[in-house]
C-alpha cells in the first residue's frame, strides 16, 4: 500500500541522508525500522509524512504520490507535540475541524477509549505523564482516520514499563482497525515485540542494509525462545550494518576502519 522507490534525500549541506531506498509496505503490516543514529530513519519518516521533499525517487500510497502531508497518513512524533492550551479531548480532535461536531465528538471519544484515556478528556497536557501524553498523540493521529500510522521513535523517552504498556495499546489499536504501521525504533526488543518485518538501516549514505521477517505469533512473550532468536539475528544484522567498510571493500586492510 505504501510504495517507496529509489528514494534519495541529499540535504542542502550536501549530506546524503538517504540513498536509493526501495521499500514496499503491505496493508495491515507493522514494519519496524532500526539502525544507529544518523542512518536516515527520521529523514525517511519525514519524507513519508510529506513534511520534506525527496531529492529523487517517489513515494506512493495506493498509487497516489505523496509530496505533501497526505490524509491517509498519520504521524506520531518522537515528542508528543500536544498543544498546551487545549485539553486532551480538543488535542485529539485537533485534526477533525472539518467534521460536524457530533461526529468529531464521537471520534474523539472512540480514540481516547482506545488508548485508555477516557477519564482524562478534560485535563491539560501539562497534567499528564509522558506516557499519557504520547498516548494522546497516538489518539490524535488515529482519530483523523489514517490508513498508515508513522511513528518516529515514539517511546524512546519513556521507561520500560510505560513502553510495554504503550506497545499493548498500539497493538490493540492495530488489531482492531487493520491499520498499517511504520515505526522507527532503536530498541531491538521493541522491534521484535511489535513488527512483522524489521528493516535494518546503515549510514553514509543512509540506506537499507537488511530485512528480517518476524514470523512469530502474537501475543509475543519477551522471554520466549522465538523472540530471543529473532533478537539475536537482529543484533547481528545491526552489528554488521555498523561496519561500513568491511562489507563493501573486503580487499582493504581490516584495520583501516578503526
> In the complex, which residues of this chain contact other proteins (CB under 8 A)?
49, 51, 68-69, 71, 74-75, 77, 79, 81, 83-86, 94-95, 97, 124, 126-127, 144
43 belongs to the binding site for ligand ADP (CB under 6 A) = yes
14 binds, among other proteins, ligand ADP, Mg ion, none (CB under 5 to 8 A by kind): none
> What does 83 interact with, of other proteins, ligand ADP, Mg ion, none (CB < 5 to 8 A by kind)?
other proteins
Pick the closer one to Mg ion by CB: 93 or 154.
Answer: 154
C-alpha cell at 186: 532503536
Determine which residue in the list 42, 133, 180, 185 makes contact with Mg ion, applying CB under 5 A.
42
Largest CA distance in the chain: 68
Identify residues 201-230 at the interface with ligand ADP (CB under 6 A): 206
Closer to Mg ion by Cβ: residue 37 or 97: 37
Q: For the segment 121-160, give every residue that binds Mg ion (CB under 5 A).
A: none
Q: Residue 61 is placed in which grid cell?
A: 500510497
To which H or E segment does residue 168 belong? helix 160-177
Q: List beta partners, residue 207.
A: 202
Q: Does 180 bind Mg ion (CB under 5 A)?
A: no
Residues 13-32 contacting ligand ADP, CB under 6 A: 13, 15, 17
Cell numbers describing residue 143? 482519530
**Terminal alpha carbon distance of the chain:** 41
Sheet-wide strand order for 2-10? 16-25, 2-10, 56-61, 64-65
Provide the b/e sequence for 55-64 (b: ≥16 CB within 10 Å): eebebebeee
Residue 9 vs 197, nearer CB to ligand ADP: 9
Pairing of strands 2-10, 56-61: antiparallel
List of residues contacting Mg ion (CB under 5 A): 42
List of residues contacting ligand ADP (CB under 6 A): 11, 13, 15, 17, 35, 37-43, 206
Amino acid at each position: 500500500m505504501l510504495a517507496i522507490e529509489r528514494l534519495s534525500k541529499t540535504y542542502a549541506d550536501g549530506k546524503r541522508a538517504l540513498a536509493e531506498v526501495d521499500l514496499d509496505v503491505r496493508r495491515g503490516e507493522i514494519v519496524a525500522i532500526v539502525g544507529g543514529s544518523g542512518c536516515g530513519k527520521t529523514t525517511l519518516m519525514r519524507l513519508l509524512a510529506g513534511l520534506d521533499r525527496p531529492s529523487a525517487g517517489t513515494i506512493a500510497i495506493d498509487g497516489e504520490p505523496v509530496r505533501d502531508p497526505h490524509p491517509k497518513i498519520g504521524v506520531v512524533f518522537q515528542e508528543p507535540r500536544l498543544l498546551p492550551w487545549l485539553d486532551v479531548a480538543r488535542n485529539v480532535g485537533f485534526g477533525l475541524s472539518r467534521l460536524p461536531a457530533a461526529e468529531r465528538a464521537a471520534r474523539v471519544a472512540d480514540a481516547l477509549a482506545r488508548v485508555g484515556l477516557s477519564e482524562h478528556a478534560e485535563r491539560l497536557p501539562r497534567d499528564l505523564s509522558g506516557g499519557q501524553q504520547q498516548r494522546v498523540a497516538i489518539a490524535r493521529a488515529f482519530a483523523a482516520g489514517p490508513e498508515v500510522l508513522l511513528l518516529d521513535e515514539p517511546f524512546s523517552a519513556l521507561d520500560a514499563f510505560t513502553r510495554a504498556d504503550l506497545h499493548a495499546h498500539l497493538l490493540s489499536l492495530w488489531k482492531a482497525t487493520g491499520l498499517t504501521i511504520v515505526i522507527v525504533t532503536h530498541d531491538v526488543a521493541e522491534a521484535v515485540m511489535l513488527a512483522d518485518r524489521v528493516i535494518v538501516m546503515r549510514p553514509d549514505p543512509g540506506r537499507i542494509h537488511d530485512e528480517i521477517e518476524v514470523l512469530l505469533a502474537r501475543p509475543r512473550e519477551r522471554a520466549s525462545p522465538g523472540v530471543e532468536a529473532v533478537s539475536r539475528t537482529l543484533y547481528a544484522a545491526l552489528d554488521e550494518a555498523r561496519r561500513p567498510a568491511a562489507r563493501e571493500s573486503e580487499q582493504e586492510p581490516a584495520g583501516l576502519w578503526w
